[in-house]
Structure 1
């Protein structure tokens, strides 16, 4: 860790901090079937491109929950809607990762599916997304009782991009605030934010305690190209902001200024799918243990470094 790590301790009011009460983590988000195609060289239009193809469990919310569990959070729960055709498979995989699934089978939709095209030369990926049952979540799927024993609620930003799951996310946030439970959110997708509208997105995320964007999302939301400037600006709206910078690590902002910069461990990148979700899971698990924001960012970077070394977005997926 480098930078003003001590100053970050002052941002502890947003989610836990030293002496935080024990409690679990509830993630509300998406469970996805990922088809990961790792291709060597450019895609060849209108013909075949050799690739290594695997089907693995994914989803930003589910991935973050699994990484939080693998990072030491003893009570991680995931609320999500999934196509009935794949509910049992996803349930087994989540339980195997130490997550308590609260899955809602949907008989009228298939499981969300993402085709992830990964260039092996750069480990960068392009997504083709079928949201399936994810965007069919609704307020009927929510109950304030889901927060029993929960110290922190994490919302996947994907919930904000369609009705009625947007209303579920807002209802969950309000229930959390009424219960004194802190709330975090990852913005999820610049493409979807652009379609929704930046001002609409920012209005929907009012009263979020912790924002966890990547550098592209932070810059997109603020119009500022430098991640540090974007993080500082966002932290005037959100009490705590942690921006991931890929191989360059992460930075933490609070009160309108960057308060910590964290280096990422060296890692051999195989597939960057889920690296941001891993950071989220590691960060939240550390905060729930009472870590400072800077220490939590270090934990998130460690999880992210592990994530890029496996195929897919879950711990040990490779």
Structure 2
């Protein structure tokens, strides 16, 4: 039976004549636990814990929508019970939610353990995320779209990978440019770099972090990895965390951008903030280096916030 197709709902400030971005990716319920002491195995460790909306794809969409200059839409799959809350949070961030409710799987959940250095470790239950499939796709989702962005998490399950391929082929047929964030060094190790690289033929912009870029190329220097990847994907931007970002075009590093200083409390979503701000800046006319600078500013802001989104949200109601 065909999956229930997503329905469109208006978001604040959307629907104008400017550029439009479709993001396909994960929508997640984040449980963020910040602890200053080392974890105590087998007993309690004091932490500050919050329940927040997250997911790399959804976070990218929210950061891209900030400022209201780009019409941003998000296609994702969530558990039916949580669909309303996630739609509300996306709309409040200026994103048009195109969420497919799943009756058989809950919304993905991630437990983010954030230590005193603001570094985070994830425990991931993919839930409905990787159940998104070609049945959830319609070429009409690209109507009016300027650019398509895919979360790399889609590549690591058969059904979601098939959707990613279909969406990229549809975008190519309409001359819609495509970007991809490889998403996870851990998943790249599991799947294998050659398998991930094989999915990049229709990608125009690649936004890996340094670990992902090095894994995909087998090189140890992120600059060398960026240059090599840009021979395959014309514009490759490698994020370096607190060290900024590298821009590589057609086989050469063309810019290195440094971020502003900030006091980090939680690094969750910093890369998503970079990607969202970078894409919005590019879609509104910035050159790659200037767009990377916007991305660095967003990433520096993101690490000062709890969770991966630019806006404060209201936790879900129990019961």
Q: How far has the Cα of 1:104 moved from its partner? A: 0.5
- Note the alpha carbon deviations across 1:204-248, whole angstroms, 9 max, x for none: 122200000011111111111111111001111100000111111
SS at match of 1:276: helix
- Note the alpha carbon deviations across 1:16-37, whole angstroms, 9 max, x for none: xxxxx94200000010000000
Q: How far has the Cα of 1:108 moved from its partner? A: 0.4
Question: Is the 8 Å Cα contact of residues 29 and 110 (structure 2) preserved in structure 1?
Answer: yes
What is the root-mean-square deviation of aligned Cα atoms in Å?
Answer: 1.1
SS at match of 2:122: strand
- What's the counterpart of residue 80 of structure 2? 84
SS at match of 1:204: coil
What runs of 5+ residues in structure 1 fail to find an aligned partner? 1-20
Q: Distance between the aligned counterparts of 1:71 and 1:169, measured in 2?
A: 28
Question: Is the 8 Å Cα contact of residues 123 and 271 (structure 1) preserved in structure 2?
Answer: yes
Q: Distance between the aligned counterparts of 1:251 and 1:46, measured in 2?
A: 42
Equivalent pairs counted in the alignment come to 297
- Note the alpha carbon deviations across 1:43-68, whole angstroms, 9 max, x for none: 11011111000000000000000000
Query: Is 1:175 equivalent to 2:170 in the alignment?
Result: yes
- What's the counterpart of residue 37 of structure 2? 41
What runs of 5+ residues in structure 2 fail to find an aligned partner? 1-16, 314-319
Map 1:245-284 to 2 at 5 A.
Answer: 245-284=240-279
Q: Distance between the aligned counterparts of 2:219 and 2:135, measured in 1?
A: 39
Residue number among 96, 99, 102 corresponding to 2:98 in the alignment: 102
- Of stretches 279-288 and 223-232 in structure 1, the one that deviates more from structure 2 is 223-232
- What's the counterpart of residue 186 of structure 1? 181
Q: How far has the Cα of 1:71 moved from its partner? A: 4.4
Q: Distance between the aligned counterparts of 2:202 and 2:126, measured in 1?
A: 26
- What's the counterpart of residue 55 of structure 2? 59
Residue number among 119, 127, 133 corresponding to 2:122 in the alignment: 127
Q: Taking structure 2 as the reference length, what is the TM-score of the superposition? A: 0.91
The structure with higher relative contact order (CA 8 Å, sep 6+) is 1
- What's the counterpart of residue 158 of structure 1? 153
SS at match of 2:262: coil
SS at match of 1:126: strand
SS at match of 1:280: helix
- What's the counterpart of residue 145 of structure 1? 140
- Of stretches 196-205 and 284-293 in structure 1, the one that deviates more from structure 2 is 196-205
- Of stretches 198-207 and 78-87 in structure 1, the one that deviates more from structure 2 is 198-207
